[in-house]
Amino acid sequence: MKHPDTAAAAFQKMEPYLYLAPCLVLVGLFVYWPLANTLFLSLSKTNAMGEAVRFAGLSNYRNVICSGEFLNSCIVTGKFVLLATVPSIVFGLALALLTKKREKGTRVFEMLFSLPVVIASASGAMLWKLMLSPSTGFVSFVLGQKQDWFTDKRLALFTVAALTVWLSVGMNYIFFLTGLRNVPQSISQAADMDGAGPFQKFFYITLPLISPTLFLTFVMNVAAFAQTFTQIMILTRGGPEQSTNVLVYLIYNNAFVNDRYAVACVQSILLFLILLAVTVLQFRMEKKVVYDS
Amino acid sequence: MKRKKFSLGIVLLCVAVLSGTFFGCTSSSGQASSSLGNVMSSAGKQTNITFWYSMGGLGEKALQKMIGDFNSSQKNIHVDAKYEGSYTDAMNKLKNSIKGGQLPDIVQLGDEDTRFMMENKNVVPIQDLVDAEKYDLSTLEPNILAFYSLGGKLYGMPFNNSTPVLYYNKDLFRAAGLDPENPPKTMDELIADGKKIAQKDAKGNLKVSGCEINNSDINEWLFSEWMCLQGLPFADNGNGRSKRSTAVAYDKNGGGQKILQKLLEVQQSGTASSAKNINDIFGRFVSKQSAMMLSSSAGLYTVLTTVGSKFQVGTGPMPTISPDDKGGVSVGGAALWMMDTDDSNRQKAAFEFIKFMVSPEEQAYWCGQTGYFPVTTKSYDLPEMKQLLSQKPQFKTAIDQLHKSSPQNQGVLIGTFPELTQQYEDVINKVLSGEWTPEEGIKNAADQANKTIAEYNENNPLD
């Protein structure tokens, strides 16, 4: 059944695409074209200007995967994600549980706990760098002993992870608080009447009911922490003997300091594939872990 | 009907916002487009030139004053100066602008990028303008000119140059029974002095250290300077000057191992703390927790200003590896490079600015405000320079050290210097922690470096 007014019909068909056009152009320019370019460069040998010199096929990939530095960065990134995600979630959940009830003065604590989120990671990193400086730092003065927080290869990753946890706990806290407050009162009251203790209430009722929030936070945290860069750049620059050389910093270093654009492109593609695989794994897990009411 | 008008309105709004963003992007790059510059200069009005610099802190203040003086001293040329972050950031921005087309007229880049800039086709060698105007280069320091020249042709105009010096705390020296006017001249003397000065607290931790030798910000620079002091080349092919280097030479001539050996001895003497970057080392020195500091002479003004009257600061030449080293120091720092904007008016204007910046008066001012030594010998005739040197003799050390060296001692020119710096970081840390011996360290460093150099030469052919 044809619409009598064909100009209007054509417009109506095109209309959604016209709305999408600006967004598509921006995304195309800033996401898809660079992705295609990166893929192309990863298959070539590049010169110091970042231009492709000749086709190299998969030899770049072979070199990178077999190189010690890529494996080291994967391990460091994995360690860092673990060191940052677990405390972020645990502390975020603990703080949310503490301020769950809307009592007098809760508002103040809500603000205090979520405040670090608004601090730019660069500013936060600079702050910690000054505070933890072994010779002139406030922390060294208070503790009375000098500790090489950032230059000791066994400590550096923990210190950076601690800073990251401090910066991101607020975000998790906000999510968990909302999730906890959405647990229907009726269920917890019914549990109380049945004589459930606080631990039983937590593990059998609260946790399952906030499991969608938990899952979402976990996925977001892993993806975000795997791409940390700012703190590493400011605090350790890959760290004492590569102990904080996370993947994104490795890519930056190879591309912009060492002029090895092809290697950096390969590593970017590999990072993308790794994160893709991890996310797919996580969503496969979702069905088993998240309680679906 | 209403809905159609509304939809159309939204679409037009989106298009307008989008195009506004793009036009905003191009004009917010902050550089006068070359066509506009042409029109202005041909009409006899001001020529605008852009200058990218990477000085921060007190150096930036001095630089801003010099640029302001230039702009207000005449009406034909206006310099638009932009802070570009570190030399690495400036280099990356430059590479992007080479691909994108909007080149700056002048850019300040560090010595590690010298070879890359010399080989780059978008650079206008300073020699071209020197020849065109018959500018007299003889008043400039020959050692510095030698560093930035290849085959007798000057490529970049040296502007802020320094040598490594030994800063030391005269009060701590006196307290330890050492002669405050006699800083250690060799590394062995440095270790001996350090042992007298170092103090441990009750727990056995180092309270006051002698001298730190692991400074991640300048480790590779110090290494290459020690090669120059030994009179040995860092890389083959005349340190990359007669031809492009194909391999490093510090392993074969033994100089590298001697350096690592001496650094290990300092570490083993227990007189160096574990401070590893310039901020921590500087912090220790100015707070009297460390008696000596090996660093660039460019920080002298900052050191003196920070220390104030807390203690007397002395400067001495960089200690040599062994007492009979016959070499000299090479200059570090940065130079002003001219980019080929295809506009001879702007190039002439840029050269006018460059000439101003290396004039005796400006260089004398610059020296006093930073610690970089003047690139022109004529600065020493000026009364303000004579006054500076008599009131603050610490400034003399770097200058004397420069004059004792020869053009033959000038440092290596190699395109992959930044990457070699990183490889060396791992090497020096593993050697100082005992994981590798100095021999293993040098072998590893050389193997990695040679691979990097070979790959660079393969992917960046000189045609």
The ipTM estimated for the assembled molecules is 0.79
Same domain, A41 and A126: no
Same domain, A53 and A104: no
pLDDT tens digits, one per residue of B392-448: 999 999 999 988 888 888 889 998 898 999 899 989 999 999 999 999 999 999 999
Same domain, A45 and A74: no
* Cβ–Cβ gap A136/B416 under 8 Å: no
Residue A49's pLDDT is 85
Same domain, A221 and A278: yes
Domain total in chain A:
2
Closest to A21 measured CA to CA, from B391, B10, B315: B10
SS3 string, A152-167, reads CCCCHHHHHHHHHHHH
Instruction: Inform me whether the pLDDT recorded for A176 exceeds 50.
Output: yes
CB-closest option in B205, B283, B426 to A133: B283
Residue A121: which domain range? 67-289
**A11 interface with B at CB cutoff 8 Å:** yes
pLDDT tens digits, one per residue of A207-252: 888 888 999 999 899 989 999 999 999 988 887 888 999 999 999 9
Same domain, A260 and A205: yes
- pTM value is 0.85
Same domain, A79 and A11: no
Same domain, A152 and A48: no
Does residue B128 lie in a domain region? yes
Same domain, B344 and B246: no
Closest to A167 measured CA to CA, from A92, A237, A98: A92
Q: Are B153 and B125 in contact (CB under 8 A)?
A: yes
Computed over every residue of chain A, the mean pLDDT equals 88
* Cβ–Cβ gap B283/A135 under 8 Å: yes
Does residue A282 lie in a domain region? yes
Same domain, A52 and A71: no
Instruction: Inform me whether the pLDDT recorded for B1 exceeds 60.
Output: no
Domain harbouring B228, CATH code: 3.40.190.10
* Cβ–Cβ gap A48/B116 under 8 Å: yes
Give how far B391 is from chain A: nearest CA, Å.
Answer: 30
Q: What average pLDDT score do residues B272-297 get?
A: 90
Give how far B66 is from chain A: nearest CA, Å.
Answer: 30
Same domain, B82 and B100: yes
CA distance B207 to B273: 9
Does residue A18 lie in a domain region? yes
Residue B27's pLDDT is 44
- Decide: helix, strand or coil at residue B315: strand
Residue B428's pLDDT is 93
Q: Are B84 and B52 in contact (CB under 8 A)?
A: yes
**B358 interface with A at CB cutoff 8 Å:** no
CB-closest option in A8, A47, A242 to B459: A47
* Cβ–Cβ gap B289/A25 under 8 Å: no
Computed over every residue of chain B, the mean pLDDT equals 88
CA distance B157 to B129: 11
**B217 interface with A at CB cutoff 8 Å:** no
Same domain, A172 and A284: yes
Share of residues in chain A with pLDDT > 90 (%): 46
CA distance A213 to A218: 8
Does residue A145 lie in a domain region? yes
pLDDT tens digits, one per residue of A249-273: 999 999 988 889 999 999 999 999 9
* Cβ–Cβ gap B426/A47 under 8 Å: no
Same domain, A171 and A267: yes
pLDDT tens digits, one per residue of A27-86: 999 999 999 999 999 999 998 888 888 898 899 999 999 988 999 999 999 999 999 999
Same domain, A41 and A103: no
Same domain, B181 and B289: yes
Share of residues in chain B with pLDDT > 70 (%): 92
Q: Provide the pLDDT confidence category of residue A293 given band limits of 50, 70 and 90.
A: low
Residue B258: which domain range? 164-328+416-459
Give how far A134 is from chain B: nearest CA, Å.
Answer: 7
**B138 interface with A at CB cutoff 8 Å:** no
**B280 interface with A at CB cutoff 8 Å:** yes
Does residue A1 lie in a domain region? no
Does residue A212 lie in a domain region? yes
Residue B41's pLDDT is 44
Q: Are B274 and A152 in contact (CB under 8 A)?
A: yes
Q: Residue B17, Cβ neighbours under 10 Å: how many?
A: 10
Does residue B19 lie in a domain region? no
Same domain, B194 and B235: yes
